[in-house]
Structure 1
Amino acid sequence: METLEEAELCFPQINTSCKKRTRPQSESMFIYILLSFISLITVVLNLLVIVSISHFRQLHTPTNLLLLSLAVSDFLAGLFVMPFQIPITEPCWYLGDLVCVLYYVLNVIIVYASVINMVLISVDRYVAICDPLRYSTKITQRSVRICVVLCWIYCVFLSFLFLFDNLKQPGRYNSCYGQCVINVIVAVDIVLGFILPVSTIVVLYLRVFVVAVSQARAMRSHITAVKLQSSVTVTVKKSELKAARTLGVVVAVYILCYCPYYCVSLSSYDLMMGSSSNVFLVFLAYSNSCLNPVIYTFFYPWFRKSVKLIVTLEILHPQSCDTNMMKETTE
């Protein structure tokens, strides 16, 4: 019969094993069900975004290509990162040291890809609002594709740079057998992963807000003759402003979801792996990947229409990729 001390070990047969911390079964079940549900919803919703933008030619715009890249990072978060978050909420890690490090490598890639995509989206809106006459020449599909590729290459490089020591010797920072601990320079992570990109986003959107307000005042002050002459231009500006407002909501939700996690990291307060506080902060951060498609549903009529075509399998019809997605949703 096992002794009480052996029963509390993650690996009773190993003397250097970490000790278990018991959690009420009801609490464990709630965490498992909640994370599994969020993971499934995140995968499904972001897959709808990916299929929509990839399939319908009319949606192949520079802005939507950035949304596509963001949806890919959110999809990968739901498919790979969130499911592994379930064993991480437990006090013991049973998947081995190498899998632990690879999990964090993928985690860093996806998190950094999300925030850099947010920066690119902010730049796109900044140029569209502040320099609309040269937007079509500055922001092209080719330039956006190059930026997206460079974004993902940079994230992969950064993840290996951050975790090189951990990859070279997995498990070297574990204090006992059954831990999943990595060594990252927290200050560098906070600056590159949150403070710098979020500051850039906030500055760009403040500039967009100032220009949008000045444009709105200028529109109201137009004389009747000029108003008739520039009606097309005004419509375009309204469309760009609406897109900026929608993507501004996406950025704001991102900041609200990740801010508590990075604030705790910045305060140097050490949260125990598997604690309720740690689980909540991680849940809040990853829920952002699920919320983005929900925002598109409320603000983008073309997304609602594309989802309807996908669910009803009309997307399988020949020439469905040429469907007019904006016919009933003129902005």
Structure 2
Amino acid sequence: MPDVLGIISAVIGTSGLLGNFVVCVVIWRIPHMHTVTNACLFNQAVADFFGSLIFMLVFNIPTLEVLPKGAWGWLYCYLWESESVMWMFLFTSAMSLVLVTLERYLAIVYPFKYRSLFARRWVPAVGIAATWLVGISMGLCIFALIDFSERDNKCKVALPTPTGHRLNNLVQASNVVTFFIPAWTMLFAYIHMAVVLKRGARQTEPVSVRTVVMTHIRSDRARSPESSSGEHIPETQGDSLLRARRNVIKALVLVCLAYFICWLPNTVMLAAHIPGLPYSIATVLAATNSCLNPVIYTIKYSSFRKGLKLLICGKTSTTVHNDHE
């Protein structure tokens, strides 16, 4: 009987590798993609790329029955058999999603503070470094679940039980840091951004060129309905800015929704101490999140679609209208 989880993980891992590689190349090669937002997305794609690779290998390479002796056995147990390295990358991806959410939140809700803050080139770099610091730190917490016997040269990885208070508290704290805090942060941020964008749509350029043109067109229609049926109302700079920001937010909201759906089962399994096949399925679902993001960008993120078209056409040096992101 074929290893169903192995086959599924191979498909998911390969999709994640290819999709995130394309995201990295598009952002790296296309000039109009060189924005702070896309730098955060590039960081997430790098984490997803390596997370997909290790996930595919972990689920398809059999674990060793006899571990190497000495330091190699310790490294194999703690870094590979425990899946801690895979989780480091997946946690870093989750933290990157929080980072890009906060970056967009500052840009839309506090635009003046955003400009002064992100005018310093080191600020995005510090944010990106923080995602890796948190992701790696949470991955290292898995070491507490490992029992490596040097005498027997055996590696045992076990989920905490309800009676194991110390390990149980550690896992619950991990759930809070890697799921609940990001979930509530993103929920609050996107609700607030939606309110601000809706308010901005009402207030942008109340007596603008667009208003004058619309009035002129209405008067023309009153005089000559036949000649004005195909009139096109030009888009102002304010309208273009709002449209571009909404486009980015819609794409990121879908990315966050995919994160909630994919990570919730794993969080529940850990909190409820459910091992075995259900936990393995939840792990596969969490890793699936890494291959969904490139699909969402391709479908919903217009700036990425433009960049992908330019890359396919070989016009990597062409200057394209920046969507004010």
TM-score (norm 1): 0.75
**Can you list the C-alpha shifts for 1:254-284, whole angstroms capped at 9, x where unaligned?**
1111012112222x24222xx2x23321221
The DSSP-based 3-state class of the residue aligned with 2:148 is: coil
Aligned in 2, Cα 1:46/1:264: closer, same or farther, shift over 3 Å?
same
In 2, Cα distance between equivalents of 1:46 and 1:135: 28
Answer yes or no: is 1:143 the counterpart of 2:123.
yes
Instruction: Work out whether residues 37 and 100 of structure 2, in 8 Å CA contact, stay in contact via their aligned partners in 1.
Output: yes
Residue of structure 2 aligned with 1:170, choices 140, 143, 148: 148
- Superposed, 1:38-53 pairs within 5 Å as 38-53=12-27
Unpaired segments of 5 or more residues in structure 1?
Answer: 1-24, 315-319
Instruction: Work out whether residues 179 and 267 of structure 2, in 8 Å CA contact, stay in contact via their aligned partners in 1.
Output: yes
Aligned in 2, Cα 1:234/1:186: closer, same or farther, shift over 3 Å?
same
Unpaired segments of 5 or more residues in structure 2?
Answer: 68-72, 161-166, 214-234
Residue of structure 2 aligned with 1:247, choices 252, 276, 297: 252
Aligned in 2, Cα 1:164/1:71: closer, same or farther, shift over 3 Å?
same
Answer yes or no: is 1:181 the counterpart of 2:158.
yes
Find the counterpart in structure 2 of residue 7 from structure 1.
Answer: none
Aligned in 2, Cα 1:291/1:95: closer, same or farther, shift over 3 Å?
farther
Q: Following TM superposition, by how much is the alpha carbon of 1:134 offset from its aligned partner in structure 2, in angstroms?
A: 4.0
Q: Following TM superposition, by how much is the alpha carbon of 1:217 offset from its aligned partner in structure 2, in angstroms?
A: 3.3
Instruction: Work out whether residues 53 and 68 of structure 1, in 8 Å CA contact, stay in contact via their aligned partners in 2.
Output: yes
Find the counterpart in structure 2 of residue 202 from structure 1.
Answer: 187
The residue type paired with residue 318 of structure 2 is T
The residue type paired with residue 206 of structure 2 is H
In 2, Cα distance between equivalents of 1:135 and 1:263: 36
Q: Following TM superposition, by how much is the alpha carbon of 1:74 offset from its aligned partner in structure 2, in angstroms?
A: 0.5
Instruction: Work out whether residues 23 and 294 of structure 2, in 8 Å CA contact, stay in contact via their aligned partners in 1.
Output: yes
Find the counterpart in structure 1 of residue 206 from structure 2.
Answer: 222
Find the counterpart in structure 1 of residue 106 from structure 2.
Answer: 127
Residue of structure 2 aligned with 1:113, choices 79, 92, 97: 92
The residue type paired with residue 99 of structure 1 is Y
State the Cα RMSD in Å. 3.2
Q: Following TM superposition, by how much is the alpha carbon of 1:322 offset from its aligned partner in structure 2, in angstroms?
A: 2.1
Aligned in 2, Cα 1:306/1:80: closer, same or farther, shift over 3 Å?
same
The DSSP-based 3-state class of the residue aligned with 2:319 is: coil
Find the counterpart in structure 1 of residue 223 from structure 2.
Answer: none
The DSSP-based 3-state class of the residue aligned with 1:322 is: coil
In 2, Cα distance between equivalents of 1:113 and 1:205: 21
The residue type paired with residue 150 of structure 1 is A
Aligned in 2, Cα 1:225/1:177: closer, same or farther, shift over 3 Å?
closer
Residue of structure 1 aligned with 2:319, choices 319, 324, 328: 324
Instruction: Work out whether residues 124 and 139 of structure 1, in 8 Å CA contact, stay in contact via their aligned partners in 2.
Output: no
Find the counterpart in structure 2 of residue 55 from structure 1.
Answer: 29
Find the counterpart in structure 2 of residue 15 from structure 1.
Answer: none
The residue type paired with residue 202 of structure 1 is L
Residue of structure 1 aligned with 2:196, choices 197, 211, 228: 211
Answer yes or no: is 1:270 the counterpart of 2:274.
yes
Instruction: Work out whether residues 73 and 113 of structure 1, in 8 Å CA contact, stay in contact via their aligned partners in 2.
Output: yes
Aligned in 2, Cα 1:210/1:304: closer, same or farther, shift over 3 Å?
closer
Instruction: Work out whether residues 43 and 79 of structure 1, in 8 Å CA contact, stay in contact via their aligned partners in 2.
Output: yes
The DSSP-based 3-state class of the residue aligned with 1:170 is: strand
Q: Following TM superposition, by how much is the alpha carbon of 1:114 offset from its aligned partner in structure 2, in angstroms?
A: 1.3
The residue type paired with residue 50 of structure 2 is L
The DSSP-based 3-state class of the residue aligned with 2:290 is: helix
Instruction: Work out whether residues 241 and 324 of structure 2, in 8 Å CA contact, stay in contact via their aligned partners in 1.
Output: no
Instruction: Work out whether residues 45 and 290 of structure 1, in 8 Å CA contact, stay in contact via their aligned partners in 2.
Output: yes
